Amino acid sequence: MEQLLDIHPEVKEALEAGKPVVALESTIISHGMPYPQNAETALAVENIIREEGAVPATIAVIGGKLKAGLSPEEIEYFGKKGTDIAKASRRDLAVLCARGEDGATTVTTTMMIAHMAGIKVFATGGIGGVHRGAETTMDISADLQELANTPVCVICAGAKAILDLALTLEYLETNGVPVIGYGTEELPAFYSRHSGLKVDYRMDTPEEIAKAFATQLSMGLKGGMLVTNPIPEEYAMDGKGIDEAIEKALREAKEQGIKGKETTPFLLAKIKDITGGDSLDSNIRLVFNNARLAARIAKAM
């Protein structure tokens, strides 16, 4: 493992000194938006974490190495290569490393590599979940299974709105993953603050969340904790409008035969086009918001 895991010196120093560290995924760079906006956004998220007094650790696979923490040059490299970089889930890691290739980490693989490095807190946009129509397609994100098995506290704005949110909550409950609402009893719906679905617990401070997760770790319970953080009111999108955009994007995906790991990037890109870019702006703002909360939780731990 030591020859595969490459922890950035700043991150390694912070971990050894007991300083707060926040993991970040790299799929948002390579597959989330075009260059140079993708690299600029990734660096802005890192700066927000630094401003809050924590150390950012963007996770990726580069040249077959599991990287916990990237340099600005490596983030720029990822931004320029974009979708030419493979999207790496759990099933892909061993092959990518064996071949010495690059991989953009999803929620699943970011959790895995963060845990290998000793990082306990991870900020993302939205997790994957149970796709609409999964009762026939069996299309369920590996993110949910990783949350059931890997002890990392994941801060997000809920599951992506293109998913079946009710079934996603059911799956998490079955696997014993606590779902926390930060300042809310309702599950956020990514672009909007409301889903009509209840979370397991409401917590109102980073300290309360940190204490709950630290207790979970001390009990030796396997699996993570999901903290759902509503998008700020001023950047939230109208629920009806975004639902109409999602339905249109889903119809187009079905007509074009889009399946598997291509589904989410296709739908998010199509929704961005339908909303005139508003959904991308909201996505960026909710990631910034999650990064701030994650840094505060990491500090409290």
Q: Which of 12, 25, 67, 76 is catalytic?
A: 25
User: H helices of the chain, where?
Assistant: 9-16, 27-30, 37-51, 72-81, 93-99, 107-117, 134-137, 142-149, 165-174, 206-218, 239-255, 263-274, 278-300
Nearest to 194 by CA among 233, 225, 249, 144: 233
d(CA 49, CA 65): 24
Q: Is 272 a catalytic residue?
A: no
CA angle 187-119-71, nearest 5°?
Answer: 105
Strand 65-68 relative to strand 121-123, pairing: unpaired
Residue of 67, 160, 270, 272 marked catalytic: 160
Q: How distant, in Å, are the alpha carbons of 29, 31, 128, 197, 223 from that of 106?
A: 11, 10, 9, 25, 17
The answer to whether 121 and 242 are in contact (CB under 8 A) is no
Q: Is 25 a catalytic residue?
A: yes
Q: How far apart are CA 111 and CA 119, in angstroms?
A: 9
Give the integer Cα–Cα distance in Å for 221 and 237.
37
CA separation, residue 55 to residues 9, 143, 243, 286 (Å): 11, 24, 36, 19
Q: Which residues are catalytic, by number?
A: 25, 160
